[in-house]
Amino acid sequence: MRFSLIVSTILLFAAAALGQASSGFDLSNYGVSVEPDKRVMVVLAALNSAQTPDTAGERHRAIDVQLSPAGTKFRERLEADLAQMPADLRARLTQFVATYKKNHPKETPQTMLTAFISMSYALTPAPEFGDPIVTSDLPGALLDVLDFAPLVRDFYRRSGVAANLDEYLKLYKAEAAKELQPSTRDLVTDTLDYLHTKPKLTVIEKIKTETTTAKGKPTGLQKISTREHERRFVVVPEMLAPQQDLNFINVRDSYYLVVSPDKTLTDTDANRAFLQFVFDPLLFDHSKEINDIKDGIKTLLDEQRKVNPDISPDVFLTVSRSIVAAAEAREREFQNVNFAVNDARKKLQDASTPADKEKITAELEKYRGEQADETARLLSDAYERGAVMAFYFNDQLRGTEDTGFDIAGSIKEMLLGFDASKEKSRLADNAAARKRAEVLRATRKTNVQAVAAENPMIARLVEVQKVIAAKDYPKAEADLKAMLGNEQFDARVYYNLGRVAGLEAAAATDPQVRDAKLKEAKDLYVRVLNQKNTAEDKALISLTYVALGRIYEFFAENGTAGKLYDVAIKIGDVAGGDFKEAVAGKARVLKAGQ
Protein backbone atom coordinates (compact mmCIF):
# COMPACT_ATOMS: atom_id res chain seq x y z
CA MET A 1 0.00 0.00 0.00
CA ARG A 2 1.45 3.35 -0.98
CA PHE A 3 0.97 6.47 1.05
CA SER A 4 0.02 9.86 -0.36
CA LEU A 5 -1.22 12.83 1.61
CA ILE A 6 -2.84 15.75 -0.21
CA VAL A 7 -3.61 18.58 2.18
CA SER A 8 -3.58 21.85 0.29
CA THR A 9 -4.45 23.92 3.37
CA ILE A 10 -1.33 22.99 5.35
CA LEU A 11 1.70 24.82 3.93
CA LEU A 12 4.83 25.82 5.81
CA PHE A 13 5.94 28.25 3.14
CA ALA A 14 4.44 31.40 1.71
CA ALA A 15 1.68 30.48 -0.72
CA ALA A 16 2.59 31.30 -4.28
CA ALA A 17 -0.06 32.73 -6.56
CA LEU A 18 -0.27 29.52 -8.53
CA GLY A 19 -1.18 27.63 -5.36
CA GLN A 20 -4.45 29.41 -4.70
CA ALA A 21 -7.21 27.00 -5.72
CA SER A 22 -9.92 29.63 -5.71
CA SER A 23 -13.17 29.53 -7.59
CA GLY A 24 -11.43 31.44 -10.40
CA PHE A 25 -8.74 28.77 -10.79
CA ASP A 26 -8.29 27.84 -14.45
CA LEU A 27 -6.58 24.53 -15.19
CA SER A 28 -5.78 25.67 -18.72
CA ASN A 29 -3.28 28.17 -17.32
CA TYR A 30 -1.19 25.14 -16.38
CA GLY A 31 -1.70 23.19 -19.60
CA VAL A 32 -4.23 20.89 -17.95
CA SER A 33 -7.74 20.02 -19.10
CA VAL A 34 -10.40 17.44 -18.27
CA GLU A 35 -12.11 16.35 -21.47
CA PRO A 36 -13.36 13.09 -23.00
CA ASP A 37 -11.84 11.82 -26.24
CA LYS A 38 -14.04 10.47 -29.01
CA ARG A 39 -11.29 8.13 -30.17
CA VAL A 40 -11.17 6.32 -26.84
CA MET A 41 -14.95 6.35 -26.55
CA VAL A 42 -15.48 4.72 -29.95
CA VAL A 43 -12.62 2.20 -29.64
CA LEU A 44 -13.86 0.95 -26.27
CA ALA A 45 -17.49 0.94 -27.43
CA ALA A 46 -16.44 -1.23 -30.38
CA LEU A 47 -14.48 -3.51 -28.06
CA ASN A 48 -17.46 -3.78 -25.71
CA SER A 49 -19.61 -4.97 -28.64
CA ALA A 50 -17.54 -8.12 -29.12
CA GLN A 51 -19.31 -11.12 -27.63
CA THR A 52 -18.45 -14.72 -26.82
CA PRO A 53 -20.73 -17.66 -25.96
CA ASP A 54 -20.48 -19.61 -22.70
CA THR A 55 -20.99 -23.37 -22.31
CA ALA A 56 -24.77 -22.85 -22.21
CA GLY A 57 -24.72 -20.91 -25.46
CA GLU A 58 -25.50 -17.53 -23.87
CA ARG A 59 -23.45 -14.62 -25.21
CA HIS A 60 -21.40 -12.34 -22.96
CA ARG A 61 -18.88 -9.55 -23.44
CA ALA A 62 -15.63 -10.93 -24.79
CA ILE A 63 -13.64 -8.53 -22.60
CA ASP A 64 -15.47 -7.73 -19.40
CA VAL A 65 -14.07 -5.45 -16.70
CA GLN A 66 -15.51 -4.00 -13.49
CA LEU A 67 -16.76 -0.46 -14.07
CA SER A 68 -17.87 2.20 -11.62
CA PRO A 69 -21.61 2.37 -10.85
CA ALA A 70 -21.93 5.27 -13.31
CA GLY A 71 -19.93 3.33 -15.89
CA THR A 72 -22.10 0.26 -15.43
CA LYS A 73 -25.22 2.31 -15.99
CA PHE A 74 -23.74 3.92 -19.10
CA ARG A 75 -22.70 0.53 -20.50
CA GLU A 76 -26.28 -0.69 -20.18
CA ARG A 77 -27.46 2.36 -22.14
CA LEU A 78 -24.77 1.90 -24.77
CA GLU A 79 -25.61 -1.76 -25.29
CA ALA A 80 -29.30 -0.91 -25.63
CA ASP A 81 -28.49 1.81 -28.17
CA LEU A 82 -26.34 -0.59 -30.21
CA ALA A 83 -28.58 -3.66 -29.91
CA GLN A 84 -29.52 -3.50 -33.59
CA MET A 85 -26.02 -3.11 -35.00
CA PRO A 86 -25.35 -5.32 -38.08
CA ALA A 87 -24.65 -8.94 -37.18
CA ASP A 88 -21.70 -9.20 -39.58
CA LEU A 89 -20.01 -6.21 -37.91
CA ARG A 90 -20.43 -7.69 -34.44
CA ALA A 91 -19.09 -11.02 -35.72
CA ARG A 92 -15.94 -9.37 -37.12
CA LEU A 93 -15.35 -7.51 -33.85
CA THR A 94 -15.82 -10.74 -31.93
CA GLN A 95 -13.43 -12.63 -34.20
CA PHE A 96 -10.70 -10.00 -33.79
CA VAL A 97 -10.96 -10.05 -29.99
CA ALA A 98 -11.02 -13.86 -29.91
CA THR A 99 -7.83 -13.99 -31.98
CA TYR A 100 -6.16 -11.37 -29.80
CA LYS A 101 -7.03 -13.26 -26.61
CA LYS A 102 -5.72 -16.50 -28.13
CA ASN A 103 -2.40 -14.81 -28.98
CA HIS A 104 -2.13 -13.18 -25.53
CA PRO A 105 -3.38 -15.86 -23.11
CA LYS A 106 -1.62 -14.37 -20.06
CA GLU A 107 -3.13 -10.89 -20.36
CA THR A 108 -5.88 -9.83 -17.98
CA PRO A 109 -8.95 -8.00 -19.31
CA GLN A 110 -7.54 -4.77 -17.82
CA THR A 111 -4.21 -5.25 -19.62
CA MET A 112 -5.99 -5.93 -22.89
CA LEU A 113 -7.98 -2.74 -22.51
CA THR A 114 -4.77 -0.78 -21.92
CA ALA A 115 -3.41 -1.88 -25.30
CA PHE A 116 -6.57 -0.76 -27.10
CA ILE A 117 -6.66 2.57 -25.25
CA SER A 118 -3.07 3.22 -26.35
CA MET A 119 -4.05 2.33 -29.91
CA SER A 120 -6.76 4.99 -29.78
CA TYR A 121 -4.11 7.69 -29.57
CA ALA A 122 -2.29 6.36 -32.63
CA LEU A 123 -5.39 7.21 -34.71
CA THR A 124 -6.34 10.58 -36.14
CA PRO A 125 -9.29 12.37 -34.48
CA ALA A 126 -12.94 11.53 -35.19
CA PRO A 127 -14.60 11.07 -37.58
CA GLU A 128 -11.67 9.84 -39.70
CA PHE A 129 -9.97 7.56 -37.15
CA GLY A 130 -7.14 7.29 -39.67
CA ASP A 131 -4.07 5.11 -39.25
CA PRO A 132 -0.78 6.76 -38.22
CA ILE A 133 1.39 7.82 -41.17
CA VAL A 134 4.50 6.18 -39.72
CA THR A 135 4.22 2.84 -37.94
CA SER A 136 7.86 1.75 -37.87
CA ASP A 137 8.52 3.41 -34.50
CA LEU A 138 5.42 2.06 -32.76
CA PRO A 139 5.93 -0.52 -29.99
CA GLY A 140 5.09 -4.14 -30.73
CA ALA A 141 2.17 -4.24 -28.31
CA LEU A 142 0.55 -1.38 -30.19
CA LEU A 143 1.14 -2.96 -33.59
CA ASP A 144 -0.72 -6.05 -32.34
CA VAL A 145 -3.95 -4.06 -32.01
CA LEU A 146 -3.49 -1.54 -34.82
CA ASP A 147 -5.34 -3.86 -37.20
CA PHE A 148 -8.41 -3.13 -35.09
CA ALA A 149 -8.50 0.39 -36.59
CA PRO A 150 -10.40 -0.55 -39.81
CA LEU A 151 -13.02 -2.24 -37.64
CA VAL A 152 -13.29 0.92 -35.52
CA ARG A 153 -13.96 2.99 -38.65
CA ASP A 154 -16.58 0.52 -39.83
CA PHE A 155 -18.11 0.44 -36.36
CA TYR A 156 -18.37 4.24 -36.31
CA ARG A 157 -20.11 4.30 -39.70
CA ARG A 158 -22.49 1.38 -39.31
CA SER A 159 -23.27 0.70 -35.64
CA GLY A 160 -25.23 3.86 -34.89
CA VAL A 161 -22.78 5.10 -32.27
CA ALA A 162 -22.04 8.28 -34.26
CA ALA A 163 -25.62 9.53 -33.82
CA ASN A 164 -25.36 9.34 -30.03
CA LEU A 165 -21.77 10.43 -29.53
CA ASP A 166 -22.51 14.06 -28.71
CA GLU A 167 -25.05 13.01 -26.06
CA TYR A 168 -22.50 10.64 -24.60
CA LEU A 169 -19.97 13.49 -24.47
CA LYS A 170 -22.37 15.61 -22.44
CA LEU A 171 -22.92 12.72 -20.04
CA TYR A 172 -19.17 12.17 -19.65
CA LYS A 173 -18.54 15.85 -18.94
CA ALA A 174 -21.36 16.08 -16.41
CA GLU A 175 -20.08 13.02 -14.54
CA ALA A 176 -16.47 14.28 -14.60
CA ALA A 177 -17.53 17.62 -13.15
CA LYS A 178 -18.62 15.95 -9.90
CA GLU A 179 -15.34 14.40 -8.73
CA LEU A 180 -12.72 14.27 -11.46
CA GLN A 181 -12.57 17.99 -12.24
CA PRO A 182 -12.11 19.22 -8.64
CA SER A 183 -9.69 16.43 -7.73
CA THR A 184 -7.62 17.21 -10.83
CA ARG A 185 -7.41 20.80 -9.63
CA ASP A 186 -6.26 19.59 -6.22
CA LEU A 187 -3.63 17.34 -7.79
CA VAL A 188 -2.25 20.21 -9.87
CA THR A 189 -2.16 22.78 -7.09
CA ASP A 190 -0.70 20.43 -4.49
CA THR A 191 2.07 19.22 -6.78
CA LEU A 192 3.00 22.66 -8.05
CA ASP A 193 2.87 24.16 -4.57
CA TYR A 194 5.38 21.57 -3.46
CA LEU A 195 7.71 22.21 -6.42
CA HIS A 196 7.15 26.01 -6.39
CA THR A 197 6.86 25.95 -10.15
CA LYS A 198 4.58 26.20 -13.15
CA PRO A 199 4.64 23.71 -16.06
CA LYS A 200 6.41 24.73 -19.21
CA LEU A 201 3.67 24.84 -21.84
CA THR A 202 5.74 25.21 -25.01
CA VAL A 203 8.94 23.65 -26.27
CA ILE A 204 11.10 24.86 -29.14
CA GLU A 205 12.29 22.23 -31.61
CA LYS A 206 15.40 23.05 -33.62
CA ILE A 207 15.32 21.68 -37.18
CA LYS A 208 18.48 21.44 -39.27
CA THR A 209 18.11 21.63 -43.04
CA GLU A 210 20.77 21.69 -45.74
CA THR A 211 20.72 24.82 -47.92
CA THR A 212 20.85 24.69 -51.70
CA THR A 213 21.74 27.09 -54.47
CA ALA A 214 19.18 28.66 -56.76
CA LYS A 215 19.69 25.69 -59.06
CA GLY A 216 18.99 23.22 -56.29
CA LYS A 217 22.56 22.09 -55.65
CA PRO A 218 23.59 21.52 -52.02
CA THR A 219 25.89 24.17 -50.59
CA GLY A 220 27.24 22.08 -47.74
CA LEU A 221 25.84 24.61 -45.27
CA GLN A 222 23.12 23.98 -42.74
CA LYS A 223 20.23 26.23 -41.79
CA ILE A 224 18.62 25.95 -38.38
CA SER A 225 14.92 26.76 -38.09
CA THR A 226 12.69 26.47 -35.08
CA ARG A 227 9.23 25.06 -34.49
CA GLU A 228 7.15 25.71 -31.38
CA HIS A 229 5.17 22.85 -29.86
CA GLU A 230 2.33 23.27 -27.38
CA ARG A 231 2.37 20.93 -24.37
CA ARG A 232 -0.73 19.68 -22.58
CA PHE A 233 -1.83 17.28 -19.86
CA VAL A 234 -5.30 15.88 -20.51
CA VAL A 235 -7.30 13.95 -17.94
CA VAL A 236 -9.66 11.86 -20.06
CA PRO A 237 -12.91 10.71 -18.40
CA GLU A 238 -13.99 7.38 -19.87
CA MET A 239 -17.11 5.52 -18.73
CA LEU A 240 -15.83 2.18 -20.07
CA ALA A 241 -12.46 2.43 -18.32
CA PRO A 242 -11.95 -0.04 -15.44
CA GLN A 243 -12.97 1.50 -12.14
CA GLN A 244 -9.64 1.22 -10.32
CA ASP A 245 -7.21 1.62 -13.25
CA LEU A 246 -5.41 4.63 -14.63
CA ASN A 247 -4.01 4.48 -18.16
CA PHE A 248 -1.22 6.95 -18.88
CA ILE A 249 -0.20 7.59 -22.49
CA ASN A 250 2.49 10.05 -23.55
CA VAL A 251 2.32 11.02 -27.23
CA ARG A 252 5.16 13.48 -27.86
CA ASP A 253 4.07 16.70 -26.15
CA SER A 254 0.62 15.45 -25.13
CA TYR A 255 0.12 13.51 -21.89
CA TYR A 256 -3.15 11.61 -21.49
CA LEU A 257 -4.49 10.11 -18.27
CA VAL A 258 -7.54 7.94 -19.01
CA VAL A 259 -9.71 7.22 -15.95
CA SER A 260 -13.25 6.50 -14.90
CA PRO A 261 -15.08 9.88 -14.85
CA ASP A 262 -16.15 9.58 -11.22
CA LYS A 263 -12.62 8.85 -10.00
CA THR A 264 -10.91 11.08 -7.47
CA LEU A 265 -7.26 11.62 -8.41
CA THR A 266 -5.63 11.03 -5.05
CA ASP A 267 -3.33 8.11 -5.82
CA THR A 268 0.33 8.19 -6.67
CA ASP A 269 -0.07 6.93 -10.26
CA ALA A 270 -1.87 10.14 -11.21
CA ASN A 271 0.68 12.22 -9.32
CA ARG A 272 3.52 10.40 -11.08
CA ALA A 273 2.02 11.12 -14.50
CA PHE A 274 1.67 14.83 -13.77
CA LEU A 275 5.20 14.98 -12.34
CA GLN A 276 6.50 13.58 -15.62
CA PHE A 277 4.61 16.29 -17.49
CA VAL A 278 6.30 18.92 -15.31
CA PHE A 279 9.84 17.52 -15.37
CA ASP A 280 10.24 16.32 -18.98
CA PRO A 281 10.81 19.76 -20.58
CA LEU A 282 13.05 20.87 -17.71
CA LEU A 283 15.31 17.88 -18.32
CA PHE A 284 15.17 18.40 -22.08
CA ASP A 285 16.51 21.93 -21.57
CA HIS A 286 19.50 20.42 -19.77
CA SER A 287 20.37 17.66 -22.22
CA LYS A 288 23.99 18.83 -22.27
CA GLU A 289 24.38 18.38 -18.52
CA ILE A 290 22.77 14.93 -18.74
CA ASN A 291 25.16 14.00 -21.54
CA ASP A 292 28.09 15.09 -19.37
CA ILE A 293 27.16 12.56 -16.63
CA LYS A 294 25.89 9.76 -18.86
CA ASP A 295 28.92 7.50 -18.31
CA GLY A 296 28.41 7.49 -14.55
CA ILE A 297 24.69 6.78 -14.97
CA LYS A 298 25.47 3.89 -17.32
CA THR A 299 27.75 2.24 -14.78
CA LEU A 300 24.89 2.24 -12.25
CA LEU A 301 22.42 1.01 -14.87
CA ASP A 302 24.70 -1.79 -15.98
CA GLU A 303 24.82 -3.12 -12.42
CA GLN A 304 21.04 -3.12 -12.11
CA ARG A 305 20.59 -4.64 -15.56
CA LYS A 306 22.61 -7.65 -14.43
CA VAL A 307 19.75 -8.38 -12.00
CA ASN A 308 16.90 -7.12 -14.19
CA PRO A 309 17.73 -7.08 -17.94
CA ASP A 310 14.32 -5.55 -18.70
CA ILE A 311 15.51 -2.19 -17.33
CA SER A 312 15.87 0.35 -20.13
CA PRO A 313 19.47 1.42 -20.90
CA ASP A 314 18.21 4.86 -21.99
CA VAL A 315 20.04 7.47 -19.89
CA PHE A 316 17.53 10.29 -20.42
CA LEU A 317 14.68 7.96 -19.41
CA THR A 318 16.64 6.99 -16.32
CA VAL A 319 17.05 10.62 -15.26
CA SER A 320 13.35 11.30 -15.88
CA ARG A 321 12.17 8.26 -13.92
CA SER A 322 14.58 9.02 -11.10
CA ILE A 323 13.52 12.62 -10.52
CA VAL A 324 9.83 11.69 -10.77
CA ALA A 325 10.27 8.84 -8.25
CA ALA A 326 12.19 11.13 -5.91
CA ALA A 327 9.64 13.94 -6.12
CA GLU A 328 6.76 11.52 -5.55
CA ALA A 329 8.39 9.97 -2.46
CA ARG A 330 9.72 13.26 -1.12
CA GLU A 331 6.38 15.10 -1.48
CA ARG A 332 4.58 12.24 0.26
CA GLU A 333 6.93 12.37 3.25
CA PHE A 334 6.95 16.18 3.37
CA GLN A 335 3.17 16.46 3.38
CA ASN A 336 2.61 13.56 5.78
CA VAL A 337 5.07 14.93 8.32
CA ASN A 338 3.61 18.43 8.01
CA PHE A 339 0.19 17.00 8.76
CA ALA A 340 1.52 15.15 11.80
CA VAL A 341 3.37 18.25 13.04
CA ASN A 342 0.19 20.31 12.75
CA ASP A 343 -1.77 17.63 14.61
CA ALA A 344 0.90 17.42 17.34
CA ARG A 345 0.86 21.19 17.82
CA LYS A 346 -2.87 21.09 18.51
CA LYS A 347 -2.40 18.26 21.01
CA LEU A 348 0.47 20.04 22.76
CA GLN A 349 -1.73 23.09 23.29
CA ASP A 350 -4.28 20.89 25.07
CA ALA A 351 -1.73 18.81 27.02
CA SER A 352 -1.84 19.51 30.76
CA THR A 353 1.31 17.78 32.06
CA PRO A 354 4.96 17.53 30.98
CA ALA A 355 4.55 13.77 30.69
CA ASP A 356 1.68 14.18 28.22
CA LYS A 357 3.76 16.62 26.16
CA GLU A 358 6.73 14.25 26.14
CA LYS A 359 4.50 11.43 24.93
CA ILE A 360 3.11 13.58 22.10
CA THR A 361 6.61 14.63 21.07
CA ALA A 362 7.87 11.04 21.19
CA GLU A 363 4.97 9.84 19.04
CA LEU A 364 5.71 12.57 16.51
CA GLU A 365 9.39 11.61 16.31
CA LYS A 366 8.45 7.98 15.89
CA TYR A 367 6.10 8.92 13.06
CA ARG A 368 8.87 10.98 11.41
CA GLY A 369 11.11 7.93 11.51
CA GLU A 370 8.43 5.72 9.99
CA GLN A 371 7.88 8.18 7.18
CA ALA A 372 11.63 8.35 6.47
CA ASP A 373 11.72 4.55 6.37
CA GLU A 374 8.79 4.47 3.95
CA THR A 375 10.62 6.93 1.69
CA ALA A 376 13.67 4.64 1.78
CA ARG A 377 11.46 1.73 0.75
CA LEU A 378 9.90 3.63 -2.15
CA LEU A 379 13.27 4.88 -3.39
CA SER A 380 14.83 1.41 -3.08
CA ASP A 381 12.03 -0.07 -5.17
CA ALA A 382 12.48 2.68 -7.76
CA TYR A 383 16.28 2.17 -7.81
CA GLU A 384 15.82 -1.55 -8.51
CA ARG A 385 13.49 -0.67 -11.39
CA GLY A 386 16.22 1.44 -12.99
CA ALA A 387 15.70 4.86 -11.35
CA VAL A 388 19.32 4.83 -10.13
CA MET A 389 19.38 8.58 -9.39
CA ALA A 390 16.28 8.49 -7.17
CA PHE A 391 18.14 8.69 -3.84
CA TYR A 392 20.32 11.50 -5.16
CA PHE A 393 17.37 13.60 -6.34
CA ASN A 394 15.56 12.93 -3.08
CA ASP A 395 18.48 14.50 -1.19
CA GLN A 396 18.48 17.50 -3.53
CA LEU A 397 14.72 18.07 -3.21
CA ARG A 398 14.94 17.94 0.58
CA GLY A 399 17.14 21.01 0.44
CA THR A 400 14.69 23.01 -1.71
CA GLU A 401 11.37 22.34 0.05
CA ASP A 402 11.28 25.31 2.39
CA THR A 403 13.16 27.81 0.22
CA GLY A 404 10.24 28.81 -1.99
CA PHE A 405 12.54 28.78 -5.04
CA ASP A 406 11.25 27.46 -8.37
CA ILE A 407 12.52 23.90 -8.87
CA ALA A 408 13.18 24.75 -12.53
CA GLY A 409 16.09 26.95 -11.47
CA SER A 410 17.75 24.11 -9.56
CA ILE A 411 17.81 21.35 -12.19
CA LYS A 412 21.15 22.38 -13.70
CA GLU A 413 22.93 22.47 -10.33
CA MET A 414 21.40 19.12 -9.39
CA LEU A 415 22.74 17.47 -12.53
CA LEU A 416 26.17 19.07 -12.27
CA GLY A 417 26.53 17.87 -8.68
CA PHE A 418 25.84 14.20 -9.45
CA ASP A 419 28.60 11.74 -8.50
CA ALA A 420 27.86 8.16 -9.57
CA SER A 421 30.47 6.70 -7.20
CA LYS A 422 28.42 7.87 -4.21
CA GLU A 423 25.26 6.16 -5.47
CA LYS A 424 26.58 2.60 -5.72
CA SER A 425 25.93 1.78 -2.06
CA ARG A 426 22.49 3.37 -1.79
CA LEU A 427 20.57 0.09 -1.62
CA ALA A 428 22.86 -1.32 1.05
CA ASP A 429 22.85 1.92 3.04
CA ASN A 430 19.04 1.97 3.12
CA ALA A 431 18.44 -1.77 3.53
CA ALA A 432 17.65 -1.55 7.26
CA ALA A 433 15.19 1.34 6.80
CA ARG A 434 13.54 -0.48 3.92
CA LYS A 435 13.15 -3.62 6.02
CA ARG A 436 11.57 -1.65 8.87
CA ALA A 437 9.08 -0.10 6.45
CA GLU A 438 8.17 -3.49 4.98
CA VAL A 439 7.64 -5.00 8.43
CA LEU A 440 5.44 -2.07 9.47
CA ARG A 441 3.39 -2.31 6.28
CA ALA A 442 2.87 -6.04 6.77
CA THR A 443 1.78 -5.46 10.37
CA ARG A 444 -0.72 -2.81 9.36
CA LYS A 445 -2.14 -4.95 6.60
CA THR A 446 -2.80 -7.93 8.89
CA ASN A 447 -4.08 -6.01 11.89
CA VAL A 448 -5.03 -2.38 11.42
CA GLN A 449 -6.42 -1.99 14.92
CA ALA A 450 -3.17 -3.19 16.49
CA VAL A 451 -1.37 -0.07 15.30
CA ALA A 452 -3.96 2.44 16.51
CA ALA A 453 -1.46 3.83 19.00
CA GLU A 454 1.20 4.09 16.27
CA ASN A 455 -0.82 6.23 13.88
CA PRO A 456 -3.07 9.07 15.01
CA MET A 457 -5.39 8.58 12.02
CA ILE A 458 -6.56 5.15 13.20
CA ALA A 459 -7.16 6.39 16.71
CA ARG A 460 -9.23 9.27 15.32
CA LEU A 461 -11.32 6.87 13.24
CA VAL A 462 -12.06 4.86 16.38
CA GLU A 463 -13.02 8.02 18.30
CA VAL A 464 -15.39 9.25 15.62
CA GLN A 465 -17.40 6.02 15.94
CA LYS A 466 -18.38 7.16 19.44
CA VAL A 467 -19.60 10.47 18.02
CA ILE A 468 -21.69 8.65 15.40
CA ALA A 469 -23.12 6.35 18.08
CA ALA A 470 -24.14 9.45 20.05
CA LYS A 471 -26.01 10.66 16.92
CA ASP A 472 -24.04 13.92 16.82
CA TYR A 473 -23.95 13.76 13.03
CA PRO A 474 -22.77 17.34 12.32
CA LYS A 475 -19.74 16.86 14.58
CA ALA A 476 -19.03 13.41 13.13
CA GLU A 477 -19.15 14.82 9.61
CA ALA A 478 -16.84 17.71 10.53
CA ASP A 479 -14.37 15.38 12.27
CA LEU A 480 -14.30 12.99 9.34
CA LYS A 481 -13.81 15.70 6.71
CA ALA A 482 -10.90 17.05 8.73
CA MET A 483 -9.26 13.62 8.38
CA LEU A 484 -9.38 13.49 4.58
CA GLY A 485 -6.15 13.61 2.64
CA ASN A 486 -4.30 10.44 3.63
CA GLU A 487 -4.39 7.74 0.93
CA GLN A 488 -4.09 4.96 3.49
CA PHE A 489 -7.31 5.96 5.28
CA ASP A 490 -9.39 8.03 2.83
CA ALA A 491 -11.49 5.03 1.77
CA ARG A 492 -12.53 4.37 5.39
CA VAL A 493 -13.19 8.06 5.97
CA TYR A 494 -15.42 8.31 2.88
CA TYR A 495 -17.28 5.16 3.96
CA ASN A 496 -18.01 6.65 7.36
CA LEU A 497 -19.08 9.94 5.79
CA GLY A 498 -21.50 7.88 3.67
CA ARG A 499 -22.79 6.20 6.82
CA VAL A 500 -23.37 9.57 8.48
CA ALA A 501 -25.27 10.87 5.45
CA GLY A 502 -27.36 7.69 5.41
CA LEU A 503 -28.19 7.98 9.11
CA GLU A 504 -29.19 11.62 8.58
CA ALA A 505 -31.44 10.50 5.73
CA ALA A 506 -33.10 7.92 7.99
CA ALA A 507 -33.75 10.59 10.62
CA ALA A 508 -35.14 13.16 8.15
CA THR A 509 -38.86 13.84 8.11
CA ASP A 510 -38.79 15.93 4.92
CA PRO A 511 -38.70 13.64 1.82
CA GLN A 512 -36.61 16.16 -0.11
CA VAL A 513 -33.99 16.35 2.65
CA ARG A 514 -34.03 12.55 2.91
CA ASP A 515 -33.48 12.06 -0.83
CA ALA A 516 -30.72 14.68 -0.93
CA LYS A 517 -28.91 12.95 1.93
CA LEU A 518 -29.23 9.56 0.24
CA LYS A 519 -27.77 11.04 -2.96
CA GLU A 520 -24.92 12.45 -0.88
CA ALA A 521 -24.36 9.04 0.71
CA LYS A 522 -24.31 7.37 -2.70
CA ASP A 523 -21.66 9.80 -4.00
CA LEU A 524 -19.52 9.21 -0.92
CA TYR A 525 -19.70 5.42 -1.30
CA VAL A 526 -18.63 5.79 -4.93
CA ARG A 527 -15.61 7.72 -3.66
CA VAL A 528 -14.74 4.75 -1.47
CA LEU A 529 -14.55 2.50 -4.52
CA ASN A 530 -12.48 5.07 -6.39
CA GLN A 531 -9.67 5.00 -3.83
CA LYS A 532 -6.84 2.88 -5.21
CA ASN A 533 -6.01 1.08 -1.97
CA THR A 534 -9.64 0.03 -1.45
CA ALA A 535 -8.96 -3.16 -3.45
CA GLU A 536 -6.82 -4.44 -0.56
CA ASP A 537 -9.74 -4.23 1.90
CA LYS A 538 -12.32 -6.80 0.79
CA ALA A 539 -14.49 -6.20 3.87
CA LEU A 540 -14.76 -2.50 3.04
CA ILE A 541 -15.61 -3.26 -0.58
CA SER A 542 -18.33 -5.67 0.57
CA LEU A 543 -19.82 -3.13 2.97
CA THR A 544 -19.74 -0.38 0.34
CA TYR A 545 -21.44 -2.36 -2.42
CA VAL A 546 -24.17 -3.46 -0.03
CA ALA A 547 -24.67 0.14 1.14
CA LEU A 548 -24.98 1.28 -2.48
CA GLY A 549 -27.35 -1.57 -3.21
CA ARG A 550 -29.64 -0.47 -0.38
CA ILE A 551 -29.79 3.08 -1.74
CA TYR A 552 -30.66 1.93 -5.27
CA GLU A 553 -33.18 -0.52 -3.81
CA PHE A 554 -34.81 2.30 -1.83
CA PHE A 555 -35.31 4.26 -5.06
CA ALA A 556 -36.78 1.12 -6.71
CA GLU A 557 -33.85 0.79 -9.13
CA ASN A 558 -33.82 -2.94 -8.47
CA GLY A 559 -31.80 -3.92 -11.53
CA THR A 560 -28.82 -1.84 -10.45
CA ALA A 561 -29.31 -2.82 -6.82
CA GLY A 562 -29.22 -6.51 -7.74
CA LYS A 563 -25.95 -6.10 -9.63
CA LEU A 564 -24.38 -4.29 -6.69
CA TYR A 565 -25.48 -7.09 -4.36
CA ASP A 566 -24.03 -9.59 -6.84
CA VAL A 567 -20.60 -7.97 -6.57
CA ALA A 568 -20.73 -8.19 -2.77
CA ILE A 569 -21.82 -11.84 -2.97
CA LYS A 570 -18.89 -12.68 -5.29
CA ILE A 571 -16.47 -11.21 -2.75
CA GLY A 572 -17.64 -13.92 -0.35
CA ASP A 573 -18.25 -14.13 3.37
CA VAL A 574 -15.15 -12.19 4.41
CA ALA A 575 -14.63 -11.14 8.03
CA GLY A 576 -16.10 -7.70 8.62
CA GLY A 577 -18.03 -7.70 5.34
CA ASP A 578 -21.77 -7.76 4.68
CA PHE A 579 -22.24 -11.04 2.81
CA LYS A 580 -25.48 -12.05 4.56
CA GLU A 581 -27.14 -8.71 3.83
CA ALA A 582 -25.99 -8.95 0.20
CA VAL A 583 -27.72 -12.33 -0.11
CA ALA A 584 -30.84 -10.98 1.61
CA GLY A 585 -30.85 -7.87 -0.56
CA LYS A 586 -30.52 -9.94 -3.74
CA ALA A 587 -33.49 -12.05 -2.62
CA ARG A 588 -35.57 -8.92 -1.99
CA VAL A 589 -34.97 -7.40 -5.40
CA LEU A 590 -35.65 -10.70 -7.14
CA LYS A 591 -38.94 -11.03 -5.25
CA ALA A 592 -39.87 -7.43 -6.09
CA GLY A 593 -39.33 -8.17 -9.77
CA GLN A 594 -41.70 -11.13 -9.83
pLDDT tens-place string over residues 406-429? 999 999 999 999 999 999 999 999
Segment 200-218 shows an average pLDDT of 77
Segment 531-544 shows an average pLDDT of 80
CA separation for the pair 307, 355 (Å, rounded): 50
Segment 357-386 shows an average pLDDT of 94
Q: Domain residues of the chain, as ranges?
A: 17-35+175-206+223-289, 39-163, 291-443, 449-592
Instruction: Supply the pLDDT for residue 456.
Output: 63
Instruction: Supply the pLDDT for residue 445.
Output: 58
pLDDT at residue 549 is higher than 50: yes
pLDDT tens-place string over residues 150-192? 999 999 999 999 999 999 999 999 999 988 888 899 899 989 9
> Of 103-112, 138-147, 330-339, which range is least confident?
138-147
Instruction: Supply the pLDDT for residue 138.
Output: 52
pLDDT tens-place string over residues 484-495? 767 677 888 889
CA separation for the pair 584, 563 (Å, rounded): 13
pLDDT at residue 214 is higher than 80: no
Q: For the chain, give the mean pLDDT.
A: 85
DSSP-derived 3-state class of residue 262: coil
Instruction: Supply the pLDDT for residue 444.
Output: 62
What are the φ/ψ torsions at residue 43 (nearest 5 degrees)?
Answer: -60, -45
pLDDT at residue 310 is higher than 80: yes
Of residues 218 and 315, more confidently modeled:
315
CA separation for the pair 174, 74 (Å, rounded): 13
Q: 79 burial class (0-12, 13-18, 19+ CB within 10 angstroms)? A: middle
In this structure, are residues 121 and 75 in contact, taking their beta carbons and an 8 Å threshold?
A: no
pLDDT at residue 47 is higher than 90: yes
Of residues 239 and 538, more confidently modeled:
239
In this structure, are residues 311 and 305 in contact, taking their beta carbons and an 8 Å threshold?
A: yes
The confidence band for 399, taking pLDDT boundaries of 50, 70 and 90, is confident
Domain 449-592 matching CATH 1.25.40.10: the answer reads yes
